[in-house]
Amino acid sequence: MARILIVDDSPTEVKKISSILEKHQHDVLTADNGADGVAKARAETPDLVLMDVVMPGLNGFQATRQLTRAPETASIPVVIVTTKDQETDRVWGTRQGAKGYLVKPVNEDDLIKTINNLIA
């Protein structure tokens, strides 16, 4: 299926999301902060990026902006996956170039439906 990069500083969240993705036959790449996520996306060119927001250093909004604005990664859809559930956060994520916004804890059906819609 697809190669999906999970950028999240929580090992628990990475494990949960990875198991859902692997169950649906996706290949999983991981990075535990925004800067590493941007670097890995440039190096590996995944089909999609799942981006946490609250991380040390480069946060998810900043990393999303870098990925969606750079010519070599602009075609990779980024989905924000976060605990931040305010409308202003959703609007800001979209303004940074995110193609989707999911709130933790992630519902498996919503996650897979969002991924399928973006990589179809």
- Predicted local distance difference test score (pLDDT) of residue 120: 80
Domain that holds residue 7: 3-117
* Mean pLDDT within 1-27: 97
SS3 72: coil
Q: How many domains does the chain have?
A: 1
Q: Maximum distance among all alpha carbons in the chain?
A: 34
- Predicted local distance difference test score (pLDDT) of residue 89: 96
* Residue pLDDT, tens place only, 88-110: 999 999 999 999 999 999 999 99
* Alpha carbon distance 107, 41 (integer Å): 24
C-alpha dihedral, 93 to 94 to 96 to 97, nearest 10°: 130
CATH number of the structural domain spanning residue 58: 3.40.50.2300
Mean pLDDT of all residues in the chain? 97
- Check whether 112 has a pLDDT greater than 90: yes
Q: What are phi and psi of 71, to 5 degrees?
A: -55, -35
Exposure string over 62-76, b if 16+ CB within 10 A, otherwise e: bbbbbbbeeeebeeb
Residue type, 81: V
